Amino acid sequence: MESIERIIEITREAGAAILAIYETDDFGVETKSDDSPLTRADLAAHQIILRGLTALDPGTPILSEESEPLSFDERKQWSRYYLVDPLDGTKEFISRNGEFTVNIALIEHGIPVLGVVYVPVTDVVYAGEQLKGTGAFVERDGQRTPIRARKLPERLQDGKPLIVVASRRHGGEALARCLAVLNERFPEIETTNMGSSLKLCLIAEGKADLYPRLAPTSEWDTGAAQAVVEAAGGQVVDVAILPLRYNTKENILNPFFYVLGDPEFGWEEILGGVG
């Protein structure tokens, strides 16, 4: 079985464990040292994914949000590893809005080359792989459909709005400044709010044009969805419009970033004014 197919199976197995707990009255919510929540579902999915990936690809390191912390001295030796968020959107899980995902990425030399994002509540899979030319696809109701990020000039020529994705829980002054700059450059803007890595998947699927993430995230929050976006022809860049890369420093926090549906549009000139 091709590895991406097995990884999809692993995310579904983790998703089933998450849903079993989602349907109970006791999530076992704890608070981690960074004040983020942890539930029984996070831990159950973590164990399933560790077992599955270890069996699939013995010897390849796995960095999961729920793993014991590893020093950069150890991690920097890795040229290839799996980056995992067993339950992305734990707050969405606790609030029962369905906007949570299982994320598994394969990182090679700092680049997300394969990613699977699974949405347990809707049984939807987003997946992408660059090295083998698989491209990106979404699977719904048993039907697998190729997806592509969309070009922007044609939409603007047709009088359609710029669709901007925003976090359901994180915004603030930086996002407000960004939207103000965009309002000066585009005749019409619509925003749509979403939780977890589903925001990036909207870009990959050609349903939105820009996702400015001007609030903290960790690498496991984005790796899988970035692989999907870039396999679909989009790009994830930092505020200097340079590609977002992984495992390059001591901490695992991402810089602020933008997800671009049309990387050739000339975003550097526009977003350079955000500051």
User: What span, in angstroms and rounded, lies between the C-alpha atoms of 149 and 166?
Assistant: 17
CB atoms within 10 A of CB 98: 16
Q: Which residue has the higher pLDDT, 273 or 6?
A: 6
**pLDDT given for residue 102 in this prediction:** 98
CB atoms within 10 A of CB 170: 13
Over residues 140-146, the mean pLDDT reads 95
Token pair belonging to 4: 């991406």
For residue range 204-234, what is the model confidence (pLDDT) as tens digits?
Answer: 999 999 999 999 999 999 999 999 999 999 9
130 confidence band (pLDDT: 50, 70, 90): confident
**pLDDT given for residue 29 in this prediction:** 83
**pLDDT given for residue 169 in this prediction:** 63
Do residues 101 and 197 lie in contact, with contact meaning Cβ atoms separated by under 8 Å? yes
**pLDDT given for residue 275 in this prediction:** 63
Is the pLDDT at 77 greater than 60? The verdict is: yes
For residue range 13-51, what is the model confidence (pLDDT) as tens digits?
Answer: 999 999 999 998 888 888 887 778 888 999 999 999 999
Over residues 150-164, the mean pLDDT reads 95
User: What span, in angstroms and rounded, lies between the C-alpha atoms of 48 and 44?
Assistant: 6
**Residue that is written with structure tokens 């004040």 in the block:** 35
**Amino acid residing at 48:** I
- What does the mean pLDDT of the chain come to? 93
**pLDDT given for residue 28 in this prediction:** 81
**Distance, CA of 187 to chain centre:** 29
What's the per-residue H, E or C state across 151-189?
CCHHHHHCCCCEEEEEECCCCHHHHHHHHHHHHHHCCCE
Residue 222 contacts by C-beta under 8 Å, 6 or more apart in sequence? 197, 200, 236, 244, 254, 257
CB atoms within 10 A of CB 136: 26
H helix or E strand, kind and range, residue 204: helix 198-204
150 Rama sector, left if φ>0, alpha if ψ -120 to 50, beta otherwise: beta
Give the predicted TM-score (pTM) of the model: 0.95
Token pair belonging to 211: 């996702």
User: What span, in angstroms and rounded, lies between the C-alpha atoms of 101 and 90?
Assistant: 9
Map out the domains of the chain with their CATH numbers.
Answer: 3-147 (3.30.540.10), 153-271 (3.40.190.80)
**pLDDT given for residue 171 in this prediction:** 62
**pLDDT given for residue 170 in this prediction:** 59
For residue range 168-210, what is the model confidence (pLDDT) as tens digits?
Answer: 665 678 888 999 999 999 999 999 988 789 999 999 999 999 9
